[in-house]
Amino acid sequence: MQWSSKVFKLLALKHTMRVWLQEGKQKELLLKEKQLERCSWKELANSLNVAPSRLNSWFYEENLMPEDIFKKLRLSPDYIKFLIQKLPEGWGRIKGGKLSPGNTKIIKIPEKNEELAELWGILLGDGHIEKTQAYKIGVYHIKVTGHAVLDKDYLINFVKPLGEKLFGVHGRTYLAKTNLGFNIIFDGRNIVNFFEKEGFKAGDKIRNQSTIPNWIKEDPKFLAACLRGLYDTDGCFYHLTNQTSYQVCLTNYNKTLLNDVRGGLLSLGIGCSKISKGRDITITKKSEIAKFYKLIGFHNSKHLNKIKIWNAKFSPV
């Protein structure tokens, strides 16, 4: 049987794999490759034996780059660490030739680890999961809100990289014009679906009684990370007025969450108050604050800097 060149090309395409890098990394790789080769975009396309329009679609990340093209790039070994996964040609289609739903952003599915537990705690604090379904355009994202001055460093340099690492997507920032709210937002229906599948419903956290899941409660390291995320956003560390004492305090109006937080602190061996005013849990004894600092601590610099100074002066441990 004679095989036409067209058939051979179709067979080759069938087995072509596409490389899916973290958002922004495909564009970065091609730009650095162009700079390294000291050539024009047209010359780079010619060296890769592709049409300039095809190279342009890869640069703007409209399409994923074929694996064989990726391997031709001199800098590709440096970008293996950004590889999320390899996908077969036609991965965006399902049986029957129908396109997959809309242009839903594909995400990396994170493992259940300390980093995901910490993001979960952050969302329980100053986070929000938005799921607004509509006929053509819906809104699907997770958002973390803080103070535009006091929390900005934490949001940009910790929360944003954390979410990007976990889900393999780019986070965007948004400064509210009417107040001092600063937001980190991760868009994507699949991100919202991931949290809902794990039991974190979109919408009002108090009405939903959103709380700490069992997979976090059952692992002390995961629990400490989750509590750190929650205290970084809804907690505070301060000097009591006209006293020498300090307090770590968490304020929240979700009764289920407050009970789980108190139970979590006690399970880690950290003594704390009962829930007061239906919203507050406090840690006042020096020995218990020292345990909190050692086992949980903060990543938000507005809290971390103060408790570091306290620890240097007053820690009984």
- Domains of the chain, by residue range, sit at 12-88, 114-314
100 — pLDDT class (breaks 50, 70, 90): very low
* pTM, 2 dp: 0.70
Max mean pLDDT range (3-7, 136-140, 201-205) = 201-205
CATH class of 12-88: mainly alpha
Residue 84 has pLDDT above 60, yes or no: yes
Mean pLDDT of the 43-61 span: 88
Of the listed ranges 95-104, 263-272, 273-282, the least confidently predicted one is 95-104
Q: Using alpha carbons only, give the angle 121, 125, 127 rounded to the nearest 5 degrees.
A: 95
pLDDT band, residue 241 (cuts 50/70/90) = confident
Mean pLDDT for all residues in the chain: 87
Out of 71-85, 220-234, 266-280, which region has the weakest mean confidence (pLDDT)? Answer: 71-85
Calculate mean pLDDT across residues 216-236: 97
Predicted pLDDT at 89 = 60
**Rounded average pLDDT over 266-270:** 97
Q: What is the pLDDT of residue 260?
A: 97
pLDDT at 18: 87
Residue 136 confidence (pLDDT)? 52
Distances (CA, A) of 303 to 242, 299, 309, 316: 20, 8, 10, 20
Residue 101 has pLDDT above 60, yes or no: no
Place domain 114-314 in its CATH homologous superfamily.
Homing endonucleases (3.10.28.10)
Q: What pLDDT is attached to residue 281?
A: 97
Q: In this model, does residue 102 exceed pLDDT 50?
A: no
pLDDT band at 137 (very low <50, low <70, confident <90, very high): low
Confidence of residue 5 (pLDDT cuts 50, 70, 90): very low
- Band of pLDDT at residue 23, cut at 50, 70 and 90: confident
User: Would you state the pLDDT for residue 316?
Assistant: 60
